[in-house]
Amino acid sequence: MLNSSAKLRVAVIGGGIGGLAAANALMQKGLDVTVYEQASRLGEVGAGVFVYPNSLRQLERMGFGPALARVGAKVGPGSVYYRKDGTVVGPIVTTDSSGWNGMYGMHRADLLDALAAAFPEEAVRTGYRCVGFSQTDEVATIDFANGESVQADVVIAADGIKSVLQPYVVEPSPPEYAGFRAYRGLVSREQLDSWPHEVHQVWMGDGKHFMVFPVRSGTLLNYVGFVPTANETAESWSAIGDRDELAASFAGWDPQIGKLLDKVETCYWWGLYDRKPLGAWRNGRLALLGDAAHPMLPHLGQGANQAIEDGVALSVLLEGLSAAQAPAALAAYENLRRPRTAMVQSEARRNGMRYDSQYESLERRDEEIRHSFILRQNLYDYDVEQAARLAAAA
C-alpha cells in the first residue's frame, strides 16, 4: 500500500528508452513521476536494438506486449554465427532455457514511441536541460538551464554516458574508447528478396565483424559493421559514414555482405565506448540508471535491456515507500544491480574479442562461440522483478 500522506515524487532526468521504461514502471507502481528531457521533443537516434527475453518479460508484464509485437521483428531459428567467408560456426541463441522465444529486432524510435504512448504526455517536460543538483535530508532539488528548479523525493539520472548528474554520485569517470568505429544503417527488405526472414546473422574475422537483423515488423534490415580505427572516434549516432570505406573494410568476405552493401546509399557511424564499473550508483536521493551507471559495449546487445531491468528494479524497491524511506531503497537498488551489470559489461568486452577473432586459434574461438548459449540463456532467464522483490523483503 502507498503511504497515506502522499505519493513518492520521482523526477526522471532523460527521456530515452531507459528513462521512459523506468517512468512507466514507476507510474504503474503508483508513484508520482515526471520526466525531464533536454531535447525539444522525445526522439531516438540510431537504428536497431534488440529486445531480449530478460527485458521483454518485464515489458510484457507492464502491458507492452501487443505494441512491441506490432512494431518489432521476431528473431528466431536460423540465426547463425559465421566465419568471415560464410562458414557456419554455430547457431545464435534466441530463447531462454525454457525455450521461450522473446526476442525482437526493434527500431529504437519504435521502442521509444511505444514507451512514450503509454506515459501521460503532461508528465513529460521537454526543453529541460539539467545543470545542477542539491539535496537535504528531506528533499532533492534539480536545476535546469531554463532557470527553473524542481523538487522531488527521488531523482533518477537516466541522462546517458555523458551524464550531468553522475559527478554528484561518484568521482568523474570518463568513458573509455574501445578502438572501434561502428557503421550502421537500414536497407529495405524488398531490395533483398532472398534474404532469410526473422534471423540474426553475425560474420566474424580479421579484427572486425558484421551483423544483420530485421526491424520494423521485418520490413527493414538493420546492419552494423564494426571496424578498428587508429584514431578515437566521437560517440555520435548521427555522423555520416563513408559507404565506400565500409564496403572496402569487408571486401573479400562472404558475398552476402557485399550483396547487402550494394544496396546501401547512406550510412552512419559512431565510436564505441564503455567504462569500468563505477564505485557507486547513488547518493542520498539520487540514483544512476542505464548508460549513466553502466555503459557497455554492444557485443551482447544488452545496453537497453539492462536499463529496462534497472527501471523495473527501482519500481519494485520504491513501491509504497515514504520519502524518508527512499534513500535506503536506492541503496538496495545499487546493491542488487551493480554486480549484474558489471558482469554484463565484462562479458560484452569478452564477446567483442570473440567476434573480432582476437584469438591465435579460431577453433578455440569457434568453440567458445558455440558454448556462449550458456551465458546467453543465463542472461535471458534472469527475472529482475523477482530479484527485486527478494531484495525488498530482505
Q: What is the CATH number of the domain that holds 158?
A: 3.50.50.60
116 Cβ contact list (under 8 Å, min separation 6): 15, 20, 42, 124
Residue 3: per-residue pLDDT: 42
Domain count, the chain: 1
pLDDT at 219: 95
Report if residue 362 sits inside a domain.
yes
Judge whether 282 lies within some domain: yes
> Which phi and psi (to 5°) does residue 382 adopt?
-65, 135
Cα gap 273→295, rounded to integer Å? 7
Q: Can you give the pLDDT at residue 305?
A: 98
Residues sharing a CB contact under 8 Å with residue 303, sequence separation 6 or more, in sequence order: 49, 290, 291, 295, 296
- Cβ contact 19:163 at 8 Å: no
User: SS3 of 29, please?
Assistant: coil
Burial 312-347 (b: 16+ CB within 10 A, else e): bbbbbbbbebebeebbebbbbbbebbbebbeebbeb
Helix or strand (DSSP H, E) at 179: strand 176-188
**Which is nearest to 284 in space by CA: 146, 139, 394, 85?**
139
Residue 153, domain member (yes or no)? yes
Element housing 347 (H / E): helix 326-355
**In 3D, which of 33, 5, 81, 40 has the Cα closest to residue 323?**
5
Instruction: Specify whether the CB–CB gap between 312 and 384 falls below 8 A.
Output: yes
Sheet holding 104-107, edge to edge: 48-51, 104-107, 73-74
pLDDT at 234: 57
3-state secondary structure of 18: helix
What is the dihedral sign for C-alpha 102, 271, 108, 38? positive
Whole-angstrom CA distances from 298 to 5, 176, 267, 283 are: 44, 14, 18, 28
In a domain, 240, yes or no: no
CB 139 within 8 A of CB 323: yes
Name the DSSP letter for residue 92: P
Identify the domain containing residue 320 by its residue range.
Answer: 9-174+275-393
- Regions of the chain short of the pLDDT cut 70: 1-5, 45-46, 232-239
Look at residue 244 and tell me if it is in a domain. no
Q: In this structure, is residue 337 part of a structural domain?
A: yes
Query: How far is Cα 41 from Cα 282, in angstroms, rounded to an integer?
Result: 28
Kindly state whether residue 341 falls inside one of the protein's structural domains: yes
Would 35 be classed as within a structural domain?
yes
Report the amino acid identity of residue 226. F
The span from the CA of 14 to the CA of 334, in Å, is 19
